[in-house]
Amino acid sequence: MNAFSPPTLPPTPDYDAWPIEADIRSVDHDARVLTLSWSDGRKSRYHSIWLRENAADESTVNPATRERILDLSSLPAWPEIVAAEIDESGALCVTFAPEHRHLRFHPGWLRAHDYDNAGDPEAPLVPVRRWHGGPDASPDSLDASGLLDTEPASEAEEAILAPALESVLGKGLVRLRGLPTEPGSLEAIARRIGPLRPTNFGLLFDVKAKPNPDSNAYTSIALPPHTDLPTREYHPGLQMLHCLENSVEGGQAVMLDGFAVAEALRQRDPDAFATLTRVHWCYANTAKTSDYVWYSPMIRLDAHGELLEVRIADFLRGPLQAPFEEVEATYDALMTLQAMLREPGFAIRFTYAPGDLVIFDNRRLLHARDAFEGTSGHRWLQGCYMERDEIRSRYRMVQRARRRRWIAASQQV
């Protein structure tokens, strides 16, 4: 750096980009707590040990991987603040004892990780919006006809994926239209989001009537509202169904927001709701070549009492193994829920067109199918599974790219 080069901001302990929403105006500290005053009036406090662990220097993180290498317990004593100031770049500079190490912190990163003023750190990336169906309802639908023509991680790809990811994160469902109908193209489409999850049905599976089926899905009969693979300890977080052919009579797709149904049950019959969050059902898929069994409540809540997942599939329930005195109340709660799943006000109904791809949260959405006449034409969907983690990761990458562009544009002004 020559004498006329502006000072640069320090790196951050991650690969993200952090806009500077406000400048640091002043810094105060004692040995174990540092207080920043920002240009917009906010005050933020940080513990000395938190700052030391979250530095971005080579003694704290591996610069090649941005993974932490510091073991706090290896320090000779609790890290304490000896001095602190703001340098010419606007970065926070802190000297720590007993190491006598001088470390710099990016103001945008500090502001974004201000735990003194933060809300719920586990809040969803996109607000969860429960929804009801009805005769005029339809899934969020987007034209994705150019998706595979875009470069991965490009702005053009982002323009298609960003609203789709937001719909899945917020409402649990999106329909992409105009995609190719060649068999196997689903894998290329899905990998624009993340890696697929293989199961005993394969990496991709064909949903069509076939001889000697090993699932009701591979017949022409109606399927009741359900989540897929509840028989797994961790059933897939996302499912994709891609229509390659559909010329049959009947076979309408049905989608319900399991969170909306569960919340309605909580309001109408709190005892039934509590039962279904407490009693573990047996879910079993005992096929000729595999034997999957798992026990879980039908409705799971997080630590705040918010809906986390539903696990519903009547045709994959094994024998109930509940305490004797709870059996009748448990079945009563089940039948209350089953009746609600038939209410038309919860359901979205639509017909797949070739080139349609539906992406949905398999731990929230219930999907079903009307029976169809197998001799009236051909109905062929290809499906695959993925985890919720993949769509969250992809969405964070989209947001990261947006922040980088915003920073670049602001620096040019």
CATH of the domain at 43: 3.30.2020.30
Q: Tell whether 131 is covered by a domain.
A: no
Claim to verify: residue 294 and residue 350 sit in the same structural domain: yes
pLDDT tens sequence across 190-213 = 999 999 999 999 999 999 877 777
Statement to judge: residues 234 and 382 lie in one domain: yes
Q: Do 2 and 94 reside in the same domain of the chain?
A: yes
Cis peptide before 98 (omega within 30 of 0): yes
> Would you state the pLDDT for residue 59?
95
The predicted pLDDT at position 413 comes to: 59
pTM of the predicted model as reported, rounded to 2 decimal places: 0.90
Question: Per the structure block, which two tokens stand in for 337?
Answer: 């829920």
Per-residue pLDDT of 141-186, as tens digits, reads 999 999 999 999 899 999 999 999 999 999 999 999 999 999 999 9
Phi-psi region of 366 (alpha: psi -120 to 50; beta: other; left: phi over 0): beta
Of the candidates 323, 337, 341, which has an alpha carbon nearest to the alpha carbon of residue 269?
A: 337
**Judgement on whether residues 173 and 80 belong to the same structural domain of the protein:** no
Residues sharing a CB contact under 8 Å with residue 17, sequence separation 6 or more, in sequence order? 400, 403, 404, 407
Query: What number is the average pLDDT over the span 369-388?
Result: 87
Residue 123: the pLDDT is: 86
- Is residue 75 domain-resident? yes
Q: How far is CA 2 from CA 5, 7, 8, 137, in A?
A: 5, 10, 12, 63
Q: Are 315 and 347 members of one domain?
A: yes
Give all strands of the β-sheet with 205-207 in edge-to-edge order. Answer: 141-143, 173-177, 357-361, 238-246, 379-386, 205-207
- Bigger pLDDT: 376 vs 282: 282
Residue that the structure tokens 């005992």 belong to: 286
Q: What is the pLDDT of residue 3?
A: 44
179 phi, psi to nearest 5 deg = -85, 165
Asked whether residue 411 is domain-assigned, the answer is no
Residues 163 and 308 in one domain: yes
Same domain, 170 and 210: yes
Token pair 């001799």 is found at 375
Q: Give the tens place of pLDDT for each residue, 108-149.
A: 999 999 999 988 888 899 999 999 999 899 999 999 999 999
pLDDT bucket at 338, cuts 50 / 70 / 90: very high
Q: Residues 284, 339, 130, 296: what is their CA dihedral angle, to the nearest 10 degrees? A: -20
The answer on 158 and 85 residing in a single domain is no
In this prediction, residue 4 has a pLDDT band, given cuts at 50, 70 and 90, of very low
In order of 32, 278, 324, 325, the CA distances from 331 in angstroms are 57, 13, 12, 12
Model confidence at 411, pLDDT cuts 50, 70, 90, reads confident
Q: Are residues 188 and 97 in the same domain?
A: no
412 inside domain: no
Same domain, 41 and 93: yes
Domain assignment present for residue 263? The answer is yes
Residue 1: pLDDT band (50, 70, 90) is very low
User: Which has the closest alpha carbon to 340: 275, 262, 403?
Assistant: 262
Domain limits at 285?
Answer: 141-397
* 125 domain-assigned: no
Mean pLDDT, rounded, for 38-66:
97
pLDDT (0 to 100) of residue 374: 65
CA atoms within 13 Å, Cβ hemisphere of 113: 18
Distance CA 407, CA 93 (A): 22
The answer to whether position 381 is within a domain reads yes
How many separate domains does the chain show?
Answer: 2
Give the CATH number of the domain where residue 385 resides: 3.60.130.10
Among 67, 85, 118, residue at a domain's last position: 118
Say if residue 28 is in the same domain as residue 174.
Answer: no
Shared domain for 96 and 169, answered yes or no, is: no
Does residue 403 lie in a domain region? Answer: no
